[in-house]
Amino acid sequence: MSLAIDRNTDLKKYNSWKIGGPADHFCLPQTIDEMIEAVEYAKDLRLPITILGSGSNVLIPDSGLKGLVICTKKFKGLETQKTKERFVITAMAGEPKFSLAKAFIKENLPPGIFLSGLPGDVGGGIVMNAGIAEQMTPREFHEMTDWVEVLRDGQIIRFEKSQLQWSYRHCLGWEPGIIVRAGFSWSLADIDKTIKDKAAMFAKTRKDRQPLEMPSCGSTFVNPPGNSAGRLIQDSGLKGYQIGDAQVSLKHANFLVNLGNAKASDFVALISHIQKTVKEKFNIELKTEVKFL
C-alpha cells in the first residue's frame, strides 16, 4: 500500500477552530488512486469514514473521530482552458477556493469577486453550495458549477449540474460517495477589466468586517429568510459573550472565535446558548452552518 495511514493524529491543526481530539486512523491522499486505497483500507477494517476538507466549517469533538479520517488537504490540482465562448476550470476537491478566485480574476471574470472572500476548498464549496450574503452575480457555487465527479464503490461517477439539487447552503443528489473533482465555467462575454480591483476591494471589506486573524469557522449560523444571523445575535446582546475560550466575536457576531485554548465543548455550549437566547428574544430558530462531526 503506497498511501500512508497514521494513527491517533491530532486534528487541531487540520481545522480552522483549532479544536478537537485525535483521529483513530488518518490519511492525506493526493490522487484518485490513493483515495480509492483509503476507502479500501477502511472497508477491509470495517471502519467508518469521515471526509475532512480544509476544516473551515466543521466542529470536531474533544473525543476525536473514530474510524478513518480522509483529509483532502493535499488532494489538489487545477487546470484551465478556453473554448470559443467560455473560460473552463477543472479542479480537484481539495483545491482551495482562492485558487478558483485567482484563475477567474486573471481572466477578468465575475466569479473571482465572491470567491475571493471564501475560505475552504472546492469540495466543501459544492457540499454546502458556498456563497456570500452580498448581492452580486454570481454569489453561490451552483451558478458557476458545470459538473461534479464522485467516487462511489471504486468508480468515478459524473453528475451534471442539472442532476443535483441546489439550495441555500446545500447541495444534494451526489451522495453517497466522495466528491473528488468538479468542473466550473463562465462566459467570456462577461469580461470586465475592473474585476481585479473589485475583488481586492471586496476582500478588504470582508477583512475589515470579519475576525479573519483569529481561529474561527467563518459564519456559524445560516441567515434566516429575510434576516441576518449576525444582527440577531448582536441585538440579543451577545457580542463578546464567551464560554471558556470560545467567544462571540466583537467584530462580527456570526463568527465564533477561539481565544486560545477553547474546547469543542465550549463551542457546543456557546452555540446552544446563542440559539436559546435568539429563540427567546425573537422567536427565531437559528440553524448552524457549521457541520458537527
DSSP letters along 206-240, please?
A: HHHHS-TTS-EEEE-BPPPTTS-HHHHHHHTT-TT
Confidence (pLDDT) at 183: 99
Instruction: For the chain, give every domain's residue range.
Output: 6-71, 78-195, 211-286
Q: Give me the half-sphere count of Cα atoms (radius 13 Å) on the Cβ side of residue 202.
A: 23
* Three-state SS at 10: strand
Find out whether 26 and 74 touch, Cβ atoms under 8 Å.
no
Find out whether 47 and 7 touch, Cβ atoms under 8 Å.
no
Q: How many CB atoms lie within 10 A of CB 159?
A: 18
pLDDT, tens only, 79-120: 999 999 999 999 999 999 999 999 999 999 999 999 997 899
C-alpha 266, offset from chain centre: 21
pTM of the model: 0.94
pLDDT category at 234 given cuts 50, 70, 90 is very high
pLDDT, tens only, 11-20: 999 999 999 9
Find out whether 15 and 58 touch, Cβ atoms under 8 Å.
yes
- Architecture category of domain 211-286 in CATH: Alpha-Beta Complex (3.90)
Tell me how far apart the alpha carbons of residues 133 and 174 are, in angstroms, rounded to a whole number.
25
The top-level CATH class assigned to 6-71 is: alpha beta
Q: Percent of the chain scored above 70 by pLDDT?
A: 100
Confidence (pLDDT) at 1: 73
Q: Which strands, in side-by-side order, build the sheet including 246-248?
A: 216-219, 255-258, 246-248, 242-243
- Architecture category of domain 78-195 in CATH: 2-Layer Sandwich (3.30)
Q: What is the mean pLDDT of the chain?
A: 96
Q: Dihedrals φ, ψ of 272, to 5°?
A: -60, -40
pLDDT, tens only, 126-141: 999 999 988 999 999 9
Confidence (pLDDT) at 54: 93
pLDDT, tens only, 172-184: 999 999 999 999 9
> Once rounded to an integer, what is the mean pLDDT over residues 225-245?
97
pLDDT category at 206 given cuts 50, 70, 90 is confident
Q: Which of 30, 177, 27 is nearest to 94 (CA)?
A: 30
Any idea which residues carry the catalytic annotation?
A: 169, 219, 289
Q: How many CB atoms lie within 10 A of CB 241?
A: 17
Angle 97-106/195-209 helices, nearest 10 degrees? Answer: 150
